[in-house]
Structure 1
Amino acid sequence: MSNQRKTTPEAPESPEPGQRPARVTAAAALVALEGLALLAGGGYMLALGVTGSSDDARQAWTGGVTLIVLALLPLLAARGLLKLRRWSRGPAIITQIMALPVAWQMLQADSLAIPAGIVLALCAVAALVFLINPSTTEALGIQGPGGVQDQK
């Protein structure tokens, strides 16, 4: 009989307090921040549609609902990262990759969007660095290509 602990694909091990690497926690915080920003933007657009402050109420409603639904992806991914679920890394990385072109477009504006674009780009790059870090991969129980762990 083996002394090794059996793990499931969803949860490599039940995390003990302090066992989660700081990089995973930082990545989860950045991903959650982006999700909350999407949620706030969606709520703002819905409020504009409800109050009639928008030029096109239908567009405000559609945009607001779309942003709120899109906010679910990073928020669920952040929760998964905090619980060390291996599935959460993929949606978190996809969210960061999608944020980079948005940040680029914000940097092309001549308005208050430029500082917001800088912040978004820095958050996305930092989160990507945290998410692809080997300690994050190990903590989430993600194995190398072909299901083989790296030999050390």
Structure 2
Amino acid sequence: MSRRRTKPSPKSPADQPVDRSVDQPEEQPAVAGSRPADRPGRTPATLHAAAAVAGLEALGAAAAGGWLTVEAIITRTRGLGIAASAGVFVLATGVGLGFLAWGLLRGRRWSRGPVVAIQLLMLPLGYELLSGSTTVVGAAMLVAAILTLVLVLAPPSTAVFRE
């Protein structure tokens, strides 16, 4: 512990050394995975909402992938390998999107790019699903993709990912 001077110095106050141990806490060195001092400490509401929408998309994809896989195995369709692998792919996409949603919730920089890319891929897929019996699914995909893009690219969310 350092001590404060009790006697006034003949020097001017500008020439005196600053005792940081008493007045201000020392800056801690950056630890891998921690937030730098200039980044916001809290995740904004826009990023929480984006993570929630992406999490719902992940749950939907995981449920659809599981259902497709089980249905392919139970019904023993002619193209069992293709049907089962498509279900496993959709299931894996749901799990991956869930991991990315968790990254958004924690404000991790690595999560933003893949989430934006997935949402951009969902736009034409959702549009294609608007016709026929899949209209509700297509509309839900379009709304979720647009909403997630708007929330992730909003200024408060973008501020979290800046250095």
TM bracket, shorter-chain basis: 0.7 to 0.9
Give the counterpart letter for 1:130 in structure 2: L
Alpha-carbon deviations, 1:57-110, whole Å to 9, x = none?
222211111112222331111011111111111111111111101101101x22
- The answer for the alignment partner of 2:55 in structure 1 is 32
Deviation at 1:53, TM superposition (A): 5.5
Deviation at 1:139, TM superposition (A): 2.3
CA 11–137 in structure 1, closer or farther in 2 if over 3 Å, else same? farther
Give the counterpart letter for 1:132 in structure 2: L
Q: Confirm or deny that 1:73 pairs with 2:96.
A: yes
In structure 1, stretches of 5+ residues that fail to align are 144-152
- The answer for the alignment partner of 2:151 in structure 1 is 130
- The answer for the alignment partner of 2:70 in structure 1 is 47
Equivalent residue in structure 2 for 1:118, among 136, 139, 146: 139
In structure 2, stretches of 5+ residues that fail to align are 1-19
- Take 2:34 and 2:155, find their aligned partners in 1: how far apart are those partners? 17
User: What's the TM-score, normalizing by structure 2?
Assistant: 0.74
31-40 or 68-77, which deviates more: 68-77
- The answer for the alignment partner of 1:149 in structure 2 is none
Give the counterpart letter for 1:45 in structure 2: L
Please give the residue correspondences for 1:133-148 in structure 2 after superposition, counting only pairs within 5 Å. Answer: 133-140=154-161, 142-143=162-163
Q: How many residues align?
A: 138
Give the counterpart letter for 1:58 in structure 2: G
Structure 1 contact 25–81 (Cα < 8 Å) conserved: yes
CA 8–91 in structure 1, closer or farther in 2 if over 3 Å, else same? farther
- SS of the residue corresponding to residue 138 of structure 1 reads helix
Q: Percent identity?
A: 28
Deviation at 1:133, TM superposition (A): 0.9
- Take 1:92 and 1:30, find their aligned partners in 2: how far apart are those partners? 11
User: What's the TM-score, normalizing by structure 1?
Assistant: 0.78
Deviation at 1:114, TM superposition (A): 0.8
- Take 2:132 and 2:52, find their aligned partners in 1: how far apart are those partners? 29
Give the counterpart letter for 1:42 in structure 2: G
